[in-house]
Amino acid sequence: MGKVSGVVLLVGLCLGAILAMALIPPSRPGPAAVADAASRATVMTVESRPEPVESPAPPSSKAPPSSKAPEAPGPPKSVDTQALADLVPGGQVSVVVYDRTAEKNTVSLKAERSYTSASLVKLLIALEALQAGTSTGTVQRMLSVSDDDIAGRLWSAHGGPAIVTRWAAKIGLGGTRPPEDPGRWGDTRITAADIAKIYRYLLDQAGAGTRTTIMRALSGATESGSDGIRQYFGIPDAVGSLPWSIKQGWACCRGSRILHSSGTVGEDDRYIVVVLTSQPTSTTYAGAGRRITEVVKALLPIIDGL
């Protein structure tokens, strides 16, 4: 019995050991292995279910369409030249407007018609006098107050009619002639086209000192001339606050009343404006001046900013 029991006990222990080995997994991981496996599982979950990422839209090569339709260009500015002539009833009028930026005439009415110059010839006298060394103050006074006494002295001192002949040839004034009576400088013959050329020469070709002296005098013209005649008719009365420089002319009464308004208008002397008139002697200076002012007002549509 003792041996049998021992054998039985030994067999039971062996069977228990075999059963235990069958029930326990042969490679159960330890705590470190479990943590490592969990980490790998989390990574796999993220990689297999990525969050969507929005790609930025490529920049457009075109600007978004404007909701505002482009403005159509307006009609070109123009002046009715026949209407200009009607503003001087019973008389004659010639007009030139030269745009120095566009380098062309924007208005031209009877530009080659001949007129008595009156004081406009003082522009040529001033050019000659400055070239000969006359003081700037003398020349400026002759121009700004339209001083006839100074003009007469300079005319005589520098050759009289030869002044006109020399400068007409130099500038190319085809319609400008010296007076028949050498002593009557105001009877020099001029045209609107030639007066515009004188201003173009003065502004674009004359020496800086000559240009500065003359244009300073013209921009500082007094309201009344040395003879008491009001000389703000035409350009000054018409253009309002725009910058201007003027040389006016008036004379009477050898068959007609002469009134001229000439000069520059606008920033940097952009527009050269010349209005020459021969009006009935029955017209007063004031009345004739108002007519010239109306002519210049009619030119405003072709001057920028008005």
276 part of a folded domain: yes
Asked if 296 and 234 touch (Cβ cutoff 8 Å), the reply is: yes
pTM above 0.95, yes or no: no
Distance, C-alpha 141 to centroid of its chain: 32
Residues whose CB falls within 8 Å of the CB of residue 249, separated by 6 or more in sequence, listed in order: 117, 118, 119, 120, 186, 258, 259, 260, 262
pLDDT at position 306 is: 52
Sign of CA dihedral 73, 300, 189, 89: positive
Q: Mind listing the pLDDT tens digit for each residue in 77-106?
A: 788 998 999 999 999 999 999 999 999 999
43 part of a folded domain: no
Instruction: Report residue 40's pLDDT band, with 50, 70 and 90 as the boundaries.
Output: very low
Buried b vs exposed e over 9-39: b needs ≥16 C-beta within 10 Å?
A: eeeeeeeeeeeeeeeeeeeeeeeeeeeeeee
Q: Mind listing the pLDDT tens digit for each residue in 143-201?
A: 999 999 999 999 999 999 999 999 999 999 999 999 999 999 999 999 999 999 999 99
46 part of a folded domain: no
63 part of a folded domain: no
45 part of a folded domain: no
Pairing relationship of beta strands 244-251 and 189-190 according to DSSP bridges: unpaired
Distance, C-alpha 134 to centroid of its chain: 36
13 part of a folded domain: no
Q: Identify the three-state secondary structure at position 264.
A: strand
CATH number where 286 lies: 3.40.710.10
Q: What percent of the chain has pLDDT over 70?
A: 74
7 part of a folded domain: no
Tokens of 158: 């520098």
- Residue 161: which domain range? 81-302
Q: CA-to-CA distance for 228 and 177, rounded, in angstroms?
A: 28
| Confidence check: pLDDT of 33 > 90 | no
